[in-house]
Amino acid sequence: MGSSEAEGSSPPAMALVIDELTKGRQSVATLATLFFVDPLELQTAKLLLEETMSTISKAIAILECVNSQQDHTAAQLESPSSAVTSKGPVGKRKIQSTRKAASRKRGNPYSWKRVTSATIEDGHTWRKYGQKEIFSAKHPRSYFRCTYKYDQGCQATRQVQKSEEDPFLYVITYFGEHTCEAAKENNPRCREPCVVSFESKKINEIKQEIAFSSFPSHKQENEEEVVSNLTSVDSRSNCLEQPAMELHKSSITGLEPGWSDSSSGLNYSINSYDVEFMGLDILSFELNEFFAW
DNA sequence: AAAATTTGACCCTA
DNA sequence: TAGGGTCAAATTTT
């Protein structure tokens, strides 16, 4: 017998996931020892932390991709329909004209996903405009548009949904690019790599966070420090720096009650990365990306 | 008072 | 027709 192979999805992916997780575990082990050495090792510890979280997150996300690939593959085959030029600033309830543009999203290949553990903020300011229960999903999906949509005509939107696999992960799908002024200011920052700036006094809290992500056995309840003031960035290169961003209240209400605490003083970003759906080659694409980092 | 969120209705695509 | 994306009135928060 021995017919317990994976559900037709790429078996090599499994091996890679295991590999990633193993590496992650190893890093954590090393890291653990560093915490008990002296402050000089803190820098190394930071790097390891970053790497570890990234590694684990990648692994999880690979699994998620494999899982949901069937769905998305179909969508990717869609060709971009001719542009629909419907603007219509919203007035009364005359929706007809704007709806066409709205529903293009379904088959829109010009989108990208990010799977992230704790990062909801990404340096842009978003305005929530809807939330939906999704038929095949456990968690509702929240819809956000750029705050400056009407001021400056910025068409960027995003959807945020809790991961099926791991409630500590969020799948964020971005549509369109920011054209607002704020984006131009923010972009240099936002585009900066995944960076961590830990205050040494916060290390314990961070360790706690790590523990949460790795072993979600208990939930943070009366924590006054909540991870909302975070930066989520394209982590494609490496550099260390963390501008303290003045982000507004996290707008993930409805996703995770208790997360939207704007009084967070802790700034760090944990393992976020982009997942672009490019058809069936997605895995190899991703893996190349991974190793390019 | 203004800004942001919630939520049911509306409409489009598959 | 079902499912999903957006609108906009009502409500809540700042």
Q: Is the CB of A93 under 7 A from strand B?
A: yes
User: Mean per-residue pLDDT for A35-48?
Assistant: 64
User: Is 70 exceeded by the pLDDT of residue A240?
Assistant: no
Residue A34 pLDDT: 64
Q: Is the CB of A291 under 7 A from strand C?
A: no
> Closest nucleotide to residue A98 (Cα to C1')?
C6
A124 vs A232, residue with greater confidence? A124
User: Is 90 exceeded by the pLDDT of residue A131?
Assistant: yes
Q: Is the CB of A100 under 7 A from strand C?
A: no
A130 confidence band (pLDDT: 50, 70, 90): very high
A173 vs A235, residue with greater confidence? A173
Q: Which segments of chain A does DSSP mark as H helices, in order?
A: 11-34, 42-76, 96-103, 149-152, 181-190, 203-214, 282-292
User: Is 60 exceeded by the pLDDT of residue A141?
Assistant: yes
Which residues in window 122-151 of A are less than 7 A from strand B by Cβ?
A: 125-132, 147
Residue A61 pLDDT: 57
N residues, chain A: 293
Question: How confident is the model over A43-85, as pLDDT tens digits?
Answer: 666 667 666 666 666 665 555 555 444 333 333 333 333 223 3
Structure tokens at A89: 């600033």
A116 confidence band (pLDDT: 50, 70, 90): low
**Rounded CA separation A63/A54 (Å):** 14
Q: Which nucleotides of C are covered by protein (CB under 7 A)?
A: 2-9, 14
Q: Which residues lie across from A115 on neighbouring strands?
A: A171, A273
pLDDT over 90 for what percent of chain A? 8
Q: Is the CB of A129 under 7 A from strand C?
A: yes
Question: How confident is the model over A172-222, as pLDDT tens digits?
Answer: 888 888 888 776 665 543 332 222 222 333 334 434 443 444 333 333 333
Residue A126 pLDDT: 93
C-beta separation of A247 from A206 below 8 A:
no
A170 vs A271, residue with greater confidence? A170
Q: Is the CB of A136 under 7 A from strand C?
A: yes
- Mean pLDDT across chain A, nearest whole number? 54
A275 vs A129, residue with greater confidence? A129
**Rounded CA separation A201/A50 (Å):** 18
Which protein residue has its CA closest to C1' of C2? A135
Question: How confident is the model over A158-168, as pLDDT tens digits?
Answer: 999 988 877 77
Q: Of the ranges A58-72, A104-118, A234-248, which is most confident?
A: A104-118
Q: Is the CB of A99 under 7 A from strand C?
A: yes
Question: Sign of the C-alpha dihedral, residues A78, A80, A82, A85?
Answer: positive
